[in-house]
Structure 1
């Protein structure tokens, strides 16, 4: 049997492909080897769902946040080996998950637009080029943190429509001091800034909110997609909640930039299941 995982810092989507082709699923806690040791991950992985499969899994394909570096991949692999000592285990990062889920075995450009952002040029088998992922302070164009940061800047400087500002105050009870406390003093500032994107999406009929997403997507294209060779002739696909719930704006920004949108999905796990199902 094959076990597939798509893991972020907050949750992990698991899929099991049984020998008869049946698929079972489970959602559990997230893992990130930048913030957790191999031992900590192993403890949290020892839940009933995985323990019950310990003698049945032959192959594991784990895609996770923080898994680009070989040493981080080793941390996750060691944790999985405590439960599946006989399994063949492959660890890869979330860009590979996006490419495999959206492109399969065909070439294209795969993008992640969630809390953060990232992209790669994929030849149908391997990632052949990437752009720098500079993180939430220096990069993440098009991601939720990037949009939320602009929204909060405009809030502080009173550079947004008054009705939107009043609605934000009523919804979040925010002030400049509260915003600065969360951004500069509290943990996970990127998550905090990205948390305002649901509100912005709910109000995207307002030109101001529509424009926040539109410009963020244009910035993403300029820093990422348009830097890939022959990008105009390649299908471009997207994974992530920001792309999925604002797909209308994303498609408009892409059309205006000369970019061919292929598919837009919220999570890669279904596409990863199809990708690995071919191995049975």
Structure 2
């Protein structure tokens, strides 16, 4: 059996493919070696689904957020190796997952718009160019954390519509103090800020909420996609929940910048499963 993992900061999608081509699946918590230690990751890997497979797995293809440096790759590989001791293990960045899932063996620009954001220019085999992705404090334009941060800033400064603010207060019992506590004192502030995207999407008929997404997507295009050579002549694809559940706004923002949108997937895992079935 081979095991495929697509891991973002919020969730990890796992797929197992046995010798007959049957697929099993599981969704667990997300990992990011920039924010979690190998010990914390090891604890979360003690799940029944993974433990039941550990003797059968001969190869693990793990695509993860934060797996862009040799040090981070080594830490994740060691943690997975302790669980799947008989398996060949490959660790790749989540950007390559997005590229393989959306482009396969064809060239194109592939983007991630989930909790965070990222992008790359892909030639059908390898990533040939990418833009800086410095995380939620310094980047993540167009991602859930970026949008949620603006939403919470507007709440604190009383710069959102009055009726919408009242709904936010009633639904989340939100105050400036609780926001600051979750952002500055509790773990995973990025996840916390991104969690408000569900509410924003539910109210996207409100011009304020629509523009939160539209402006964030425009910021992403300017910082990322428009920096790639010949971007207007290339197909641009997306993976991630923010892109998927707000695809109409994303396509409008792209069209206004003469960007050709190809695919928008909620998760790359289905495309990765197909890719590894064809390339075991």
For normalisation by structure 2, the TM-score amounts to 0.93
Separation of aligned partners in 1, 2:181 and 2:83: 41
Q: 1:28 to 1:258 in 2, by over 3 A?
A: same
Separation of aligned partners in 2, 1:233 and 1:224: 15
Aligned to 2:73: 73
Aligned to 2:58: 58
Q: 1:144 to 1:83 in 2, by over 3 A?
A: closer
8 Å CA contact retained: 2:9, 2:191: no
8 Å CA contact retained: 2:9, 2:115: no
Aligned to 2:180: 180
8 Å CA contact retained: 2:102, 2:237: yes
Aligned to 1:140: 140
Correspondence 1:44-193 to 2 at 5 A: 44-193=44-193
Aligned to 1:279: 279
Q: CA deviation at 1:187?
A: 2.7
Q: CA deviation at 1:35?
A: 4.2
For normalisation by structure 1, the TM-score amounts to 0.93
Correspondence 1:155-234 to 2 at 5 A: 155-234=155-234
Structure 2: which 5+ runs fail to align?
A: none
Q: CA deviation at 1:174?
A: 1.6
Question: Helix, strand or coil: the match of 2:34?
Answer: coil
Q: Does 1:270 align with 2:274?
A: no
- Larger mean CA deviation between 112-121 and 12-21 belongs to 12-21
Aligned to 1:34: 34
Q: CA deviation at 1:124?
A: 0.7
- Larger mean CA deviation between 235-244 and 13-22 belongs to 13-22
Q: What are the Cα deviations for residues 129-183 of structure 1, in whole angstroms up to 9, with x where unaligned?
A: 1111122122111111111121122222222221111111111122223223322
Q: CA deviation at 1:61?
A: 0.7
Structure 1: which 5+ runs fail to align?
A: none
- Give the 4+ runs in structure 1 shifted more than 4 A: none
Q: What are the Cα deviations for residues 198-240 of structure 1, in whole angstroms up to 9, with x where unaligned?
A: 1111111011110110000001000000000000011111111
Separation of aligned partners in 2, 1:272 and 1:201: 27
Q: What are the Cα deviations for residues 25-59 of structure 1, in whole angstroms up to 9, with x where unaligned?
A: 12234333334444554454344433433343332
Separation of aligned partners in 2, 1:17 and 1:82: 21
Measured on the aligned residues, the alpha-carbon RMSD in Å equals 1.8
Q: 1:261 to 1:166 in 2, by over 3 A?
A: same
- Larger mean CA deviation between 22-31 and 140-149 belongs to 22-31
Q: What are the Cα deviations for residues 1-35 of structure 1, in whole angstroms up to 9, with x where unaligned?
A: 32111123443221111211211112234333334
Q: How many residues align?
A: 280
Q: 1:89 to 1:145 in 2, by over 3 A?
A: same
Q: Does 1:23 align with 2:32?
A: no
Q: 1:10 to 1:207 in 2, by over 3 A?
A: closer
